Amino acid sequence: MCIAHKPAFEQVYEEFFMPNRICFVELPALATAPAKSFYAEAFGFSMTDFGPTYACTMTGDVDLGLQADAAEAPRAPLPVIQVDSLEHCEAFVRLAGGTITRAAFGFPGGRRFHFRDPAGNELAAMQADSP
């Protein structure tokens, strides 16, 4: 398809972004210790603790996080999409009909925001800290 025939947001999108990918899935957990044990025994996953209520794999590929803080835990698995620019991504999510459910916030390694797609699925977009 000729770029002149693409919707305006697709033309702008191609100028700003790398190919985005799911880089992380965060799961709710009642406690990290039993969940970490399960994933270690069942799949050989090694997890790093980030405080008493959060742990995750650190493979650098698609990683798995366990959130045991009830106030922070997602209701369902939360796919996280890695992007180059959090601000541009938020604008594109809104233009495409998504709803921001949690404003951008920092975490060890980057920043992210949460959103719902038009079908009601909650996801997050994250931008890694610059090396």
- How far apart CA 20 and CA 32 sit, in angstroms, is 29
Sequence-distant (6+) residues with CB within 8 A of 79 are 22, 24, 25, 123, 124
- 14 near 4, Cβ under 8 Å? no
- DSSP 3-state of 2: coil
- 88 near 46, Cβ under 8 Å? no
Element (H, E) at 8: helix 8-16
Q: What is the pLDDT along the chain (131 residues), one digit of tens a residue?
A: 233 344 555 655 555 555 688 999 999 999 999 999 999 998 889 999 999 999 999 998 899 999 999 999 998 999 999 999 999 999 999 999 999 999 999 999 999 999 999 989 999 999 999 87
Query: Any idea where the domains of the chain sit in the sequence?
Result: 1-20+83-131
**Greatest alpha-carbon span in the chain:** 54
1-20+83-131 CATH, one of 3.10.180.10, 3.90.1170.50, 3.40.1010.10, 3.40.640.10: 3.10.180.10
Residue type, 47: M
